[in-house]
Structure 1
Amino acid sequence: MPRRALDNPIVLAVLGLLLEQSSHPYQILSELRKRSDNHAAAITRGTLYNTVSALAEAGWLAEQGQQRTGNRPERTVYALTEAGRDELVRRLDAHIRTPEREFSQFLGAVSYLGALGPDGAVEALTERAGRLRRRTVADEERLAGALAAGVPRLHVIEAEYALSLARAEMTWIDEVIDDIRNGKLSWPEAAATQPGTDRERADREGGRA
């Protein structure tokens, strides 16, 4: 198994889940997708199974037997080994201590915000902020429900952190929109004349027709 499988970002999540309870890969996959939108979008069944195999090969997981549900095939249940627990603690400690510059699609896109033009930038940012607000409201309700049901705060601390990031992003977007509108964030003349949205491009093309 290639070493890079042990560098996959989901390794930490898999080790963490198995710290809670022994599970088979399908159960791990379902739980990861349920707990995180990012995991739901990024993790494939093949990636998860390859990661579990790599962790077992490294001695961080151990087979604990087989489990059958109904008429489904038997599934191998894995448990965290002492070496796996040590590796989990080591990685957790390193990630929490060391802030990293994480590159997101939004960060890459906002680097070229100027290409949208002032009006296009305001339109796109406004739509993003609206979607973020709707998602944040739903996430807040889900978190409040979990806490009201008696789930310890420590068990949903990642949801709390994600909400803090979303709120900070919405605040920043609102500030940028205001700065564009009041002229504090200005566009170079050449960039400001570029089409900012598909609708604007269509209008311009229609005017030249």
Structure 2
Amino acid sequence: MSMKLVILGLLMECDSHPYELMQKMKERAMLHYIKMEEGSLYYAIDKLAQEAYVEVVAKVQLGGKRDRTIYRITERGTELFHELLDAQFAESKHIHHPLYAALAFAKHGRASRIHELLQHQIMEQQRIVTHLKDLYESHIHDVPRAVLHMMKGRLEHAVVELRWLERLSADAAADRLKMKGEPIDDAGAM
């Protein structure tokens, strides 16, 4: 997801300081969809301001600390937002999972070690599923339906990922990663 799209989209909701934007991104678990450090957020906003997509609304003094600069989206920024939004909806991406490259050579690996590592992946994925489920349920009454679709879609992907890791781990535990000629058992699949 485009960092510009996220920033402009959040500014469409209300004028904000970059720190507030980062907090909203964390609240909505957007950091699962876009990699962003706080420093890069400030840099991106500065670039958007230089290009007149956003503008300073106010500078608020916070008791001896630096000023907080509040930004809003401009008319030009709104046009860019719509272009980026349309492009994102039109884009078709394929998933490239980090484990795919390893799976190509797993038959040469130590099945017990692969199983052990997958168990850690499963525990982390279970934590992610629980977090995303709680996040979705806690935002049902607070966010637009489109955002709920995003949250629900991420949750569904996480659940499918968990099931896939569980099947893969079971095959590693049974030393079946080298086997040929037998389809993957879909029992319990969604």
Alignment TM-score, normalising by the size of structure 2: 0.77
Q: Are the counterparts in 2 of residues 132 and 170 from structure 1 also a CA contact under 8 Å?
A: yes
Match of 2:148? 156
Q: Which amino acid aligns with 2:149?
A: I
Q: Which has the larger radius of gyration?
A: 1
Match of 2:85? 92
Whole-angstrom distance in 2 between the partners of 1:39 and 1:126: 21
The answer to whether residue 162 in structure 2 is matched with residue 173 in structure 1 is no
Q: Which amino acid aligns with 2:92?
A: P
State the Cα RMSD in Å. 3.0
Please, which runs of 5 or more residues in structure 2 have no aligned partner?
181-190
Task: For 1:57-76, list aligned pairs within 5 A.
Answer: 57-76=50-69
Q: Are the counterparts in 2 of residues 125 and 177 from structure 1 also a CA contact under 8 Å?
A: yes
Whole-angstrom distance in 1 between the partners of 2:132 and 2:60: 34
Per-residue deviation, residues 7-50 of structure 1 (Å, max 9, x unmatched): x9322211111111111222223322333363699433321111
- The CA deviation at 1:74 is 2.0
- The CA deviation at 1:131 is 2.0
The answer to whether residue 65 in structure 2 is matched with residue 82 in structure 1 is no
The answer to whether residue 116 in structure 2 is matched with residue 129 in structure 1 is no
Match of 1:120? 113
Cα gap change, 1:112/1:88 in structure 2, threshold over 3 Å: closer, same or farther? farther
Q: Are the counterparts in 2 of residues 34 and 40 from structure 1 also a CA contact under 8 Å?
A: no
- Higher helix residue share: 1
The answer to whether residue 171 in structure 2 is matched with residue 139 in structure 1 is no
Q: Are the counterparts in 2 of residues 32 and 39 from structure 1 also a CA contact under 8 Å?
A: no
Instruction: State the number of aligned residues.
Output: 180
Cα gap change, 1:111/1:183 in structure 2, threshold over 3 Å: closer, same or farther? closer
The answer to whether residue 185 in structure 2 is matched with residue 185 in structure 1 is no
